[in-house]
Every structure is written in C-alpha cells, then in structure tokens.
Structure 1
C-alpha cells in the first residue's frame, strides 16, 4: 500500500516517519553516547591506575575484570527497551531485598558491620544492588497513573524495606544514600508538597534519634569535621589530614613510582576506596584530579540528558534519579576528600575499589542509555512529548555541577597555597631522626689555655655505635661485619637486634673508643651510625668550678627557656656554661629514617652533620687565677671555722675585664659529667662553705670599712664640711642614748687621714651629717645594691637598705642606722665584685661593667670580640681627689702598709665587718686596692672570713696578687688578636 503524505512525494512502508528521520540526524540524540561512555571509562581507568600504584597489579586486575564485565553489560543494555524496565526493576528490587536479608544471617563482618556475602574468594555487597533496585521500582511507581497519595505511600513503603535492612547491618552511608534517592525521586516524580512537607518534618524530629544510633567511628568522623581535623591525630581527623597531604603533595603530574611515593601512600587510609580521589592526585597529580572532576560532571549531565528523552515518565525518572544519586555520591565523596564535608564512607563512583559498586553503576548507566536510545531523542533543553516530566532535574544538575566546580577549584587552591607546607608535613610524618649531638665549644683563658673542652681525642673519646634494627637485621653479612668491628659475637649482635620491637629507631649496640668508631664509619654499613658520646672535661679541676659551671641534661626550666630543645639535650646548667650556652652548644646533626605508618623503619633518610659550638675566650689569665686561688687557700687554711669562705677578684678598671676570679671552697665541675658522679656530687653539695656558690658574685656580706670609700665620695659629692677640715674623733661617738666605739682611740683627723687609718668616729660623724639620702644616693651612683651586670648567671644584687625599704619590710630606720652605715654595717650587704667595682669607680671616675667573655670563634679560627658596655662616668668624679689621696695614704702610712713594698704606687682600703652569720670571734675581712695610682690598670678585692682586725689575711691575698700581676703584667694582659664585633 502506498502512502502519500500531503505536500510530499510517495513513500514506501519501509520509510521511517519524517520525525524519526530528523531524530537520526540529531547528533545529540540517536548515536551511542560517546561522551558518557568516555567519561565512565576515564573514571574506571584512573581508578585502575590508582589501584595498581597503591595496592599492586593483582588487585587492579581483579577490579579490571569486573570493569570489563560492566562495560560489556553497558553494550548489551544499550539496546534495552523501556517496556522491560518494570520487569528489571522488580526483579532487581526483590533480589536485593532477599540478599539484604541474607546478609543479616550469612554475611561477612568487618569493622563492626555485616555488609557482604562471601562466595568463594569473592564478596558481594547487596546494598549496592539495592540502589539500582530501589531506583527502578520507585521510577515505576512514581511514573504510573495512580493517584498521588497512592504513589507516595507505595514509594515510601518500598523504600523503607531496603533502608531498614541496610540500617541493621549497619551501613549508615548507604542508608543515607537510599534515603536521599527516595526523597529525590519523590520530588522529581512530582509528588505534591502536602505529602512531602509532613515527611520532612518527621525526618527533622527523628534526626536526634539517628545521631544516637551512630557508631563511635561515625561520631568521630562527624566530630572531626565539625571541630576540625587538627584536633584528632587519629581516626577521621587523621584521614582528612592525610587526604590534604596527598592533595597538596601531588604537584601537577604526581609522583607515581617515586622513591618515597609508595611509602607516603601508606599513610593515606582508604586510599583505594573513600579517599581514592586524593590518592589519584597524589600518584598522578592535579591534572588527573581535574580529569576526574570533569569526567564526573560530564557523566552527571549526560545521564540528566537521558531523563528528558524517554517516551514514558517511567524511563525519564530512571535517568533523573540516577543523575541525582550519582551526583550526590560524587559530591559527598569529593567533599570528604577535601575536608569540606564529613567523611561519610561514600566511595567515588567508578573510581573507588569495589566490584559490586562498579558493576551496579555500570549496569545502571547501561539501562539509562538504553532507555534514552529507545525513547524520543531530544536535547536537554527541548520540550518533552509528555507533560508530567521530572521536575528540578536541570536545577539539580546545575547545582551539583556548581558544587563540583567549586570543590575542584578549592582542591587546586589547596595545592597552590598550601602544597609546600603539606608536602613538608607528609615528609615529616614518615621521618624519624636520630640526634647526633654537636661537640660543645671550648672555654679558654685569654691566651688560649683550655679551661673546659669536649673530649675529642682518640685516646679519651668514646663513641656510641647505633643501629636501626629493622633496616640492619635483614642483611646477615652486614650484621657480621658490625660484630667484627665492635669485637662482639655475631649471635650477641643478632640477638640484640631481634630482641627489640620492630618500631625501634635506634639501638645502642656498643660503646667503643674513638678509633673504633672511625673504623665503623669507614665501613659504611647501611643502618649503622656512630654517635659521639657527649662529654665535658675541665682540665683545671676546682680552680674555676663555680665560675665555669657545668653542662648537663636539660631541666624543665631549660625547656621553658628553649622550647625547641630535644629530649636529653645537654645544655649549660650553671656559670659560664649556662651564660654562653647558645654560643657553646652548637647545632645538632641528625640521621633520619623513613618509617611506615606503624612506625617501622624501612629506609635510611638524609643525614645532617652536626655543627660544633664556637669556642669562648675569657678575659681571665690562668696564671693570675692560680695565684689568687693559692693565696686564698693559704688564708683559709688556718681558719677555725670549716664554713669560712674566701673570694678574690682582679679587674681592669678601664674596661671591666675580669683578670682573675677566685672562690673558695670550690668544686670540680667534672662531678656533673656527663656522666654524673653521684657520690662526688653529693659530697660537694654537703661540704661546708657552700662550694657550689660562686662567692665573688653570689656571696653578699657586710663590707665593713671598705665602704668608707663610698662615704668619703658622698662627702665630696654632698659637702657637709670640707675634706681638709680636721674633726675631733677619739674613742667613741654618742648619738642620743647610744655610744658607737672606734676600733682604737684616735686624735683629730681630716678625710684623708681618716681613710688612711679607717677612723670610725670620723665616719660616724660624717654619715650623721650627710644623712641617709645623700649616703644612699652616692652608693647607688657607685653601683651599691644592684647587680654589676657581669656575664654570670644568678648574680646577687646585695642589699642597700633605705628608710622606706626598711619600713616596708617592717623595720625602723633609726638615727643610729645612718651612723653605722658610715662604717659599712647595718642595712648593707655587698659582693666582692660590687666592692671591686666601686673601688675602681673611685680610683678612675667611671663605673665599668665587669665581664668575663672576651671573644668567640670557631676552633682554630678567627675570634670576634664580644660587645662591650662602655664605662659610665661618675657624676661627681671631679671631686674624688681627697678620697684617692686617702687610699694612697692607707698604703704609705695607714692600715694597708703591707702593700707599700710593691714597685708601683698603690691605693687601698681595708675593712673588718661584724657578720651575724659567723661565730663571735670571726669577721668578714676585706682588702680593696688599685694600682698603679693615680691611673690604675688593675683593681683587686679580697674577702676572707675568720678572726682578726684591720690589715688581715685578705691583705696578704691582695698583696700577693698585685705582686704577681705587676711582675707579669705584659703577659697577663696579652691576648691573641680579635676582630671587631
């Protein structure tokens, strides 16, 4: 039969309708959907590449077999007919429900959940099949001609069965996806809002109940997302941080096959499933990650396009529902990888491992493409031929696309902005380092004589031979070589290596002489290193014990001072060792080891050699130091009190260089090690006289008549009667009802004579006339009552009371308090260094800052001078002539005549102070001297506790010290050249 259409030529029964001819010419509708298939293949291919990189070829091959099966099914289902949807849907749904029920009885459990059915060597996850079955039956019900309430009730009833069975496993992520799929199908299936709104309200009420059903790991995931992954070093917080590290360290093209990439990949949990996208970026770079996002967007849009083409609502809803389901899975997985959404346990479709999920997703894609081919072939934006088309599919596709694009840009920004930091974090987490301590710098006197050194010679040095057991134990030949080098039985070394946990980073195999350590280093055994044992040697013994201090393991106080100190670090703990620790300590080296996430070493990493500390050159002259110490020992040897102390200091009054600083009793720094000598340390701590205290800077006692230099200076700065005025003195001075005695009766004297003979009555009257304010102001100007600023820790400030400070402490400042202050008693305690400083100030007219550190520099290299605090001019320096004359007169014909025989003019002042801490017949005996006058180059002050008055044993110490200095002056002051700071 011929058919003739109006306005056209005759046709045959085989000719297709005109609209069909047009559809075949439409490249977007009739052809096999190359873009969708290509997008799917890209995701599957990158997933297989990731599996091959992180799990090995065997795992990738199994997944590839499933993928090939799925692709074959896509080709078969491309010719699927819409009329068969209902049958396929009900068969798939019923099979999924039966299998979900079987899981609860016969299922395989893992991580506290029963989700799989095992068949031989394979496992099957029915909840994945439930997604497809529920999608197809919901499309059939919601696309039917039933009344809206019937469609709603049937849909909810059908959905509750797989949702409930999945929840019982428990599989909260799949349960949530099934619920999302159901809601999406109700919305796009045009169920009226009067049914949907009550459902949403009920869901909101039930949400707290659902949260209460969460497993601990699920609560942790949610909490880590809400409060930040950084607060959780394990679990979900750990996973998110590892995902960020993978994203940030992948660079543009990744590092697959790199020497450390495989190790770093082990730190990414679920790298083949939930965090597969992060793993792809880590292995193959940001380009591969971008390709995944683009492929996902293309796939969602092509499936959404399929929802506009079918001839029936049933077929359209299948495409729309799959587009929503797939888009939600992709968004949730991508957001979890980026830390923008909680890790919900949702793998990335087609990319993550899982044969069931891969097969189901490919089958669903094949069904949708088949339904699309069978239907009217239209573009997404064309008007369909049936009115009840799915609603909001385009809007949902647009929203999902926007999220994917935004997430993709965020991932690019993570790498661009934080890539370097994240890469560093990745390296740090898989690195453990063995500290190689730096050799501590030496301390020398001004001529280079060693005072403190690190033991470095082959005769005395000790090395620790350290092994990384997990790296070494697998190589028997190297174990035997190490045993031979360290002179140990092979079995003993092997037993030591096997006897520690696999996570042990460093095992101390042997302590060997330095020469043996050098031989071990030369052998170059992988997994073995030589660590010099930190030691400190003090060649001069107790000569400078409290001054040099000691080095030891850092205390909590040290860690607070230097928060970055590694555990067990050796630092300066007292004296110059503490003061100059930053200079002496140097920079530790390290040998790094790469470890697995379990902490097992697998390879040796980079080595950084230590940088030794700089040497410290002091201003001290060892010869003068020995002389002052010998004299103090002689002075103390005859004292009855075992707790008596002695101290002496020699200082250059022009710049503050301390030439000698002697303190007795003393201790040998070597007792502090390392290693510590507990017995010797306990004996030194319990010895009388406090040997651990540096008496020159830390012992504060009454200065006695040496303070009369300060009082005399006050008389010239605040004149109350002229220095040349002769004042009646006698044997005593009475103020009110109290009489103050002289050390012996004396006649009338002026200031110079009174200083020469230390006339107490003159200074009683002078102090009373001056008043406390003038006395105290002058004392402050000469540094009394304040630290001198010497470069030693824990210096005592001494004590200079004032009427106000005494009142604040609950005392009373009487008129007699001012009187006895005039002879260096009362509310007054000073250190020998303060005494030497004011003596220098009176003699030169300027106040210096004492210092021991002269220069620093590398061993054998050029030294750089340490910064010097310039002297401070004394305001009343111009009026100090009479005081200097008094000092000179004390030597030529007063209390310090034992210094008269020295070859240069000397000025001095003696002092004897009552000290309540001493026995009744013991005193603080002082001598302070400056030479040569009137332009002194050295000031010496000595303190000796014991019996005696006037010129005492302290005078002998100073006399011997000055004699040595003057006889060796050129040698004492000589030092190697230094560079300006």
Structure 2
C-alpha cells in the first residue's frame, strides 16, 4: 500500500479503529492474566517451585486389658519413585537390584506416573538389608529413586487373634477411589477386625515437609526454612477388654478344629477372648503380600479368612432350650412345679420325634439339666410359635449384636411371617415347631450371639452390646476415653432367670447332667450343651456356660464343626478357658487334648429325629 493510499482520510479512520480494537483486546487479556487468573498462575508457579513430602504417622498400638502389648509397630524400608525425576532407561538395572520382574516393576512405575508425576510413590515395601545396601550403593545412578523408613505391624504375644484384631494390607487402586483423599498408592489400610473398624482412630494424621526445587525438579533445600511444614500426628492406641493370655490359651485348645469360641464379661459385654479357627498369621500382611499367598488363602477349603465367631449361622441345638423355658415360665404356661412325662419319644401326626432316653416325669429345671427333648417338644405346642419368636428376640437373636469388630451376621430367627413367605401361607404345619423347640431346623445363630445370650442368663437378664475395645488412648489430650455401648434389659423376670440358671448349674455339677465335663476345679459354674444335627456328616458341637455361678465373671460360647456331641468335645474346652481366666492358670493337670481332623462344614437342615445333649 502506498503512502498516498495510507494518507487517505477514510483509510486512516479504519486503521485507527483497528488499532484501538486490538489494543483493547490486549488490555483485556492482560487484565485477565494479571488480576483474574493471578491466583491460579501463582499457585501453578508455586507448585513448580515447591515440592511436598508426606510424613506418615505411626499407627496406634493395641494393648490387652492388663496393659500387655498385643500389636506393636516395627521399622522396615521402602523404596520410592518420583516419576518426573526418573529415567525409564534405568528400569532393567533397578529391577535387578530389587529382585523384581522387570515387567512387574514397569507396571508399578506406570501406575505411579498415572497417580502423580511429582509425588514419591512406593514401588517396593519391606526391603531386605541386602537389597537396601545395593540401592544405597547405586543411588547416585538412579535419579528419582529414594527410600524411607516405615512402620509395620508386629505381634509380640503368642496370641494371633486374627479375626478379632484384623490386619493391615496395602491399599488397592479400587479402594483409593472409595476411601477419600487421605490415602495414596502404596499406603496400608486396616482390613477386617479392629484394624478396619477403628481405622480412623489408629491411623493418625499425615504430616508434610516442603522443599524448594528448581526448574529441573532438583531439591534446593527446605522451603522457607520449614516454616510451613506440618508434623505428623501418631494414631491413638486401643486398650482392649481381651485377656491375651486367655486368648492364646483358647487358640491352643482349638488347634486343628474348625469352629469358634467367644468369651464375654457378663457385667458389661466386654470381649475377653474371640477365636475363629482355622486362622492365619496376621504378620504375613504387614509388608507386601505375595499374590500367590493371597490366592492360596482365598481358595483354601477350610476358609481361614472367614470369621466363624461372628459370621457362621448354625442351629444351636439344645443350647436354645432356655429361650423356650423363659417364654413358658414368664407367660405362665407352666410353673416350676409343672411336670411332663417323657417316654423317650413324641408323636406328632404320623411322625415320631425321638429322645435319647426316657427321662420319666421331669420339671423345667430337670429338663434343662438332663436336656430332655420330649419336655420341650410338648412345651412349644403350649407356648406357640409367636411367643417363642418373641422371647428369642428378647435374647438378641435375629439381629446383629453391634460388636465393634465390624462384620457379623444377624442370624435367622424364624417367625410366622417368615414361614408364610418361604413356604406359603397355610402350606406349613405346627410340625415345624417340634424341631425349633430343641434348636434345630431353620434357626441359625453365631457363636457371638450365643455368648451374648449366655451372658444375659448369667447376669440375670441384661443384653450388653459386645465390645472388644475398652478405652481409646487420646494422645492429643493425654487421656483415656471410654468406648460407650448400649445395654437393654430382656424384661424376663428374675424368678424365671433363677430357674433357668439352676437347671444350667445342675447340668454341670450333677453326674446326670450333660455338661459334667465342663466342671471347674473349686468353682461352681453353669452351662448347657448342644448338638446341631448335620444330615450331611458329623454333627456340630455346642456349649454355653458361665462362672462363678453366684457372681459371674465370664460367659463362654463355643461351637466346633463336625465334632459330634457337645458334652464330649465343646464342654471340656469351655471349662478350661473359664478356669484359666478365673485363676490365671490351670489348677489341675489336663492331658493334652487330641483334636480330630475335621471335614469342611456342611449346611445343616431341619430333621425329624434329634438327639439329646
């Protein structure tokens, strides 16, 4: 364009307007950059010049009721990788130093990069000293690689308490999206038991150390002399109701059995011991658990990961007879003087329900003592289905107990509406009640529920919410905080409870009683045996009891899968556990128990012929 053309007045106006528009746009953009987006760009600039390093807190300790350390923490070394500083060409060499498969290491590095290029991510935990020395020797050749000291769970006592305590394991990618932003790849998290249910109490609060870095990501030193650093706050400790000596002793008695034992303080619901067998060593999860080991545990037919103390649902057998006795006495269907004749069998329609013995004329106390089936067969017909269900609920059956270790079954307490739903209204008969009267049929309970039931009988009729944790040690305020739990009266009369307790006392101390094998040297106790009929194999053995009789300090429920008669196998173990707790030792010589190898548990269904315990 010539100078003459530019000088034309109309063209000058167009050029002036265009210049003004362009300058206005530039001014607006400058305003956006300087004022509107100043915070955002300032933040990005600071992120590029400051790097934070997470400082994990020490997880809380776990102590038993006497102060013994049950779960400790010990140091181990972890290798970390910061993706932005790492040179992928070093992967073969790094894999060799760590003793890892190269493709597995590459996969972990890729996950670390996807998670964050700037945050150090754990790529190998629980490093042995030989590998650590090799890494330290070659660290100058491996930019982006570092190591840190972490703490892992250790177990200093003989007790495993696996299903009670739970364990720690490395968090999965799937979990990261569900548990909030506290965790990062490579962190551990509580899994099962108290470690899971008290996770936020035990884990503590993370700290952060800030470093200044240059444009290449190299650390220059502390950021602003560490004035912005945040100290980690260690997790709180748990003080349990559990007696670790009794726990270890109970575990030893149940070696090679499949089953569970729960011991409770009847005065408050505190868990004194909780055993589920088979179990596993919780320390195997403290570091990185090999995938093949996890697969092995999951595929094991004995189900060692399954908590039999809280999750099984078996018929309770004759241990459930006290529910029916309570209903009959409190509803005035019978009195303590009412006698029923037992000829060794009971006919209902065209079916005959047999007993193991002809007990003759018995009252309710004698029926509990000698476990007379015929007495209870006839009694449930007088009491009725609805009242039986009502009193079962009063004792806590058919609902979860609320124990603080998390997972538990509510069990199954049949009712009229349940049978109408399952079989159809009018399509079931009163014959179903005969099996229920002796704890057979569809009724299903856990050992935990049975321990709560035994404790309620022991204390005269109060259901205490079972709880393993007694106190939380608050390290911020330097004080012990009591773990609250609810208590509910059953509403059953004291007279009724006294009669039931007397029947259970005689069951243990009268030679004709079914629980005679549970006697404790020098202490009066009470109990009731039970056998859950198993049409697919050997029966399951039950025993519930408490001691001392006049001032109960411990209530116990034990279930042994495929172990046969409750009085022969379950009762002796329960008696020994109570004796060990009350005396602190055994007052008698006990020959080594020879537990039988058991088969995987079968389902148990209602049958028409049941045995006496």
- Tell me whether the two structures share a fold, i.e. TM-score over 0.5: yes
Equivalent residues in 2 for 1:109-124 (5 A)? none
Q: Deviations over 1:278-314 (max 9, x none)?
A: xxxxxxxxxxxxxxxxxxxxxxxxxxxxxxxxxxxxx
Equivalent of 1:703 in 292, 296, 316:
316
Q: Is the Cα–Cα contact under 8 Å of residues 709 and 839 in structure 1 kept in the other structure? A: no
Name the counterpart of 1:570.
188
Change (3 A) 1:554 1:809: farther
More strand by share: 2
Change (3 A) 1:748 1:327: farther
Q: Deviations over 1:908-945 (max 9, x none)?
A: 111111134x51xx111111111122331210111122
What is the distance in 1 between the residues matched to 2:348 and 2:389? Answer: 20
What is the distance in 2 between the residues matched to 1:658 and 1:721? Answer: 35
Equivalent of 1:805 in 384, 405, 418:
418
Give yes or no for the alignment of 1:945 onto 2:575. no
In structure 1, the residue corresponding to 2:74 is in which secondary structure?
A: coil
Name the counterpart of 1:585.
203
Change (3 A) 1:434 1:824: same
Q: Deviations over 1:612-640 (max 9, x none)?
A: 3222222111111122122222xx5xxxx
What is the distance in 2 between the residues matched to 1:753 and 1:658? Answer: 31
| Deviation of 1:533 (Å) | 3.5
| Deviation of 1:858 (Å) | 6.3
Name the counterpart of 1:150.
none
Q: Is the Cα–Cα contact under 8 Å of residues 315 and 440 in structure 2 kept in the other structure? A: yes
Greater displacement, 739-748 / 704-713: 739-748
Change (3 A) 1:655 1:424: farther
Name the counterpart of 1:628.
250
Name the counterpart of 2:70.
451
In structure 2, the residue corresponding to 1:452 is in which secondary structure?
A: strand
Change (3 A) 1:509 1:871: closer
Equivalent of 2:237 in 615, 620, 626:
615
What is the distance in 2 between the residues matched to 1:839 and 1:468? Answer: 58
Q: Deviations over 1:490-543 (max 9, x none)?
A: xxxxxxxxxx99x776598996869x99xx9xxxxx999752135322334772
Give yes or no for the alignment of 1:876 onto 2:475. no
Q: Is the Cα–Cα contact under 8 Å of residues 467 and 508 in structure 1 kept in the other structure? A: no
Name the counterpart of 1:336.
29
Name the counterpart of 2:175.
558
Equivalent residues in 2 for 1:723-872 (5 A)? 723-810=336-423, 813-844=428-459, 845-857=461-473, 862-872=478-488
Give yes or no for the alignment of 1:961 onto 2:574. no
Change (3 A) 1:566 1:436: same
Equivalent of 1:660 in 264, 273, 278:
273
Q: Deviations over 1:643-667 (max 9, x none)?
A: x512111110111111111221111
In structure 1, the residue corresponding to 2:344 is in which secondary structure?
A: strand
What is the distance in 1 between the residues matched to 2:393 and 2:148? Answer: 52
More helix by share: 1
| Deviation of 1:808 (Å) | 2.6
Name the counterpart of 1:720.
333
Name the counterpart of 1:538.
155
Root mean square deviation of aligned Cα: 3.7
In structure 2, the residue corresponding to 1:838 is in which secondary structure?
A: helix
Equivalent of 1:915 in 507, 512, 534:
534
| Deviation of 1:332 (Å) | 2.3
Give yes or no for the alignment of 1:650 onto 2:562. no
| Deviation of 1:327 (Å) | 4.2
Change (3 A) 1:888 1:804: same
What is the distance in 1 between the residues matched to 2:483 and 2:514? Answer: 39
Change (3 A) 1:827 1:507: closer
What is the distance in 2 between the residues matched to 1:427 and 1:854? Answer: 47
Change (3 A) 1:876 1:508: closer
What is the distance in 1 between the residues matched to 2:49 and 2:231? Answer: 20
In structure 1, the residue corresponding to 2:355 is in which secondary structure?
A: strand
Q: Is the Cα–Cα contact under 8 Å of residues 436 and 532 in structure 1 kept in the other structure? A: no
What is the distance in 2 between the residues matched to 1:733 and 1:826? Answer: 17
Q: Deviations over 1:176-218 (max 9, x none)?
A: xxxxxxxxxxxxxxxxxxxxxxxxxxxxxxxxxxxxxxxxxxx
Q: Is the Cα–Cα contact under 8 Å of residues 80 and 120 in structure 2 kept in the other structure? A: no
Change (3 A) 1:873 1:509: closer
In structure 2, the residue corresponding to 1:829 is in which secondary structure?
A: coil
Q: Deviations over 1:74-129 (max 9, x none)?
A: xxxxxxxxxxxxxxx94186xxxxxxxxxxxxxxxxxxxxxxxxxxxxxxxxxxxx
What is the distance in 2 between the residues matched to 1:557 and 1:447? Answer: 39
- Aligned residue pairs total 536
What is the distance in 1 between the residues matched to 2:122 and 2:584? Answer: 51
Change (3 A) 1:777 1:420: farther
What is the distance in 2 between the residues matched to 1:508 and 1:92? Answer: 73
Q: Is the Cα–Cα contact under 8 Å of residues 943 and 954 in structure 1 kept in the other structure? A: yes
| Deviation of 1:601 (Å) | 4.7
Equivalent residues in 2 for 1:879-898 (5 A)? 879-893=496-510, 894-898=513-517
In structure 1, the residue corresponding to 2:358 is in which secondary structure?
A: strand
| Deviation of 1:833 (Å) | 0.8
Q: Is the Cα–Cα contact under 8 Å of residues 472 and 483 in structure 2 kept in the other structure? A: no
Change (3 A) 1:608 1:750: same
What is the distance in 2 between the residues matched to 1:569 and 1:871? Answer: 38
Change (3 A) 1:773 1:431: farther
What is the distance in 2 between the residues matched to 1:427 and 1:769? Answer: 81
| Deviation of 1:552 (Å) | 1.3
In structure 2, the residue corresponding to 1:533 is in which secondary structure?
A: strand
| Deviation of 1:566 (Å) | 1.8
What is the distance in 2 between the residues matched to 1:903 and 1:703? Answer: 29
Equivalent residues in 2 for 1:137-536 (5 A)? 137=8, 140=9, 142=10, 318=13, 322=16, 324-337=17-30, 427-428=46-47, 431-456=50-75, 461-462=76-77, 464=79, 506=120, 531-536=148-153
| Deviation of 1:718 (Å) | 2.5
Q: Is the Cα–Cα contact under 8 Å of residues 540 and 564 in structure 2 kept in the other structure? A: no
In structure 2, the residue corresponding to 1:748 is in which secondary structure?
A: strand
Give yes or no for the alignment of 1:91 onto 2:3. yes
What is the distance in 2 between the residues matched to 1:675 and 1:821? Answer: 48
Name the counterpart of 2:91.
none
Q: Is the Cα–Cα contact under 8 Å of residues 448 and 617 in structure 1 kept in the other structure? A: yes
Name the counterpart of 2:603.
none
In structure 2, the residue corresponding to 1:728 is in which secondary structure?
A: strand
In structure 2, the residue corresponding to 1:752 is in which secondary structure?
A: helix
What is the distance in 1 between the residues matched to 2:497 and 2:26? Answer: 87
Name the counterpart of 1:676.
289
What is the distance in 1 between the residues matched to 2:504 and 2:122? Answer: 65
| Deviation of 1:792 (Å) | 1.2
Name the counterpart of 2:594.
none
| Deviation of 1:683 (Å) | 4.0
Q: Deviations over 1:349-377 (max 9, x none)?
A: xxxxxxxxxxxxxxxxxxxxxxxxxxxxx
Q: Is the Cα–Cα contact under 8 Å of residues 911 and 925 in structure 1 kept in the other structure? A: yes
In structure 2, list runs of 5 or more residues that go unmatched. 88-96, 98-111, 137-142, 586-613
| Deviation of 1:778 (Å) | 1.0
What is the distance in 2 between the residues matched to 1:926 and 1:835? Answer: 10
| Deviation of 1:849 (Å) | 0.6
Give yes or no for the alignment of 1:930 onto 2:546. yes
Q: Deviations over 1:720-775 (max 9, x none)?
A: 22232111222111222222111322112111111111111111111122121111
Name the counterpart of 2:93.
none
Greater displacement, 731-740 / 873-882: 873-882
